[in-house]
Amino acid sequence: MARQPDSRAAYFDAQFANDIDLWRYRTSWYEARKRALTLAALPRARYRYGFEPGCATGELSAALARRCERLLCADFAPHAIDAARRRLEPFPHVQVEALVMPHDWPSQRFDLVVVSEIAYYLDHDACHALADRACAALDADGTLLCCHWRHGGESWMLDGATVGQAFAAAALRASLHRVVHMEDADFSLDTWSRDPVSVARRERQA
């Protein structure tokens, strides 16, 4: 598989250089609502080690940081990485790295992986590779959450349904259990877990 084209990273870095909050991560109700639903879709209150590829400027990362003992965040656009590091300075247990997905997938294992609105920027093969690596990186009690925009975008982007199917197929191959499925008017959200026990049943067993 070819490495992610440098032009793709340059494209996004130029967008962030022009306006660091071009997608209104900090100000839009859409983003705030999506973050709240994302956090609510995580079946555990706390995680040992989370990974968020494609963290952009770190707004979702800051919310995840409050749920994780350790958190690794990554992006490939230098301006986004700088912004994320500034945003996450209050969280010393969070690390932000420059990584190109899926080629630079880290060697660590995680009990939480969050792939939010990034996979459709990849080509077909890279999207499927990202899905497989996300599933393979999970610990025995791991959670994978995926969120995908449904309205399309640039002509080179995959559509959200195609991305969702890629992750569903990878989760099935990895014997993960889907514990949340949500079809919003604007995005789809799925959570898979290696643990099939529901939140309520887990609390009754505790």
- Quote the pLDDT of residue 91: 98
- Give the mean pLDDT of 57-65: 97
User: To the nearest whole percent, how much of the chain has pLDDT over 90?
Assistant: 74
Q: What is the pLDDT of residue 19?
A: 67
CA distance 62 to 151: 26
The CATH number of residue 197's host domain is 3.40.50.150
pLDDT digits (tens, 9 = 90+) for 90-146: 999 999 999 999 999 999 999 999 999 999 889 999 999 999 999 999 999 999 999
User: Residue type at 194?
Assistant: R
Give the whole-angstrom CA distance, residue 148 versus residue 62: 20
Spacing of C-alpha 120 from chain mean position: 12
Q: Are 171 and 135 in contact (CB under 8 A)?
A: yes
Number of domains present in the structure of the chain: 1
Distances (CA, A) of 125 to 4, 131, 144: 11, 10, 20
Q: Is the pLDDT of residue 170 over 90?
A: yes
How far is C-alpha 92 from the chain's CA centre?
A: 20
CB atoms within 10 A of CB 124: 11
Query: pLDDT tens across 3-51, in order?
Result: 444 577 777 778 777 767 777 889 999 999 999 999 999 999 999 999 9
H/E element holding 70? strand 68-75
Residue 52 lies in a domain: yes
Cα distance between residue 114 and residue 41, in whole Å: 11
- SS3 category, 89: coil
Q: What does the chain come to in residues?
A: 206
1 is a domain residue: no
Radius of gyration of the chain from Cα atoms? 16
Domain, as residue range, for 169? 6-205
> Is pLDDT of 1 > 70?
no
Please give the Cα distance from 202 to 31 (Å, whole number).
30
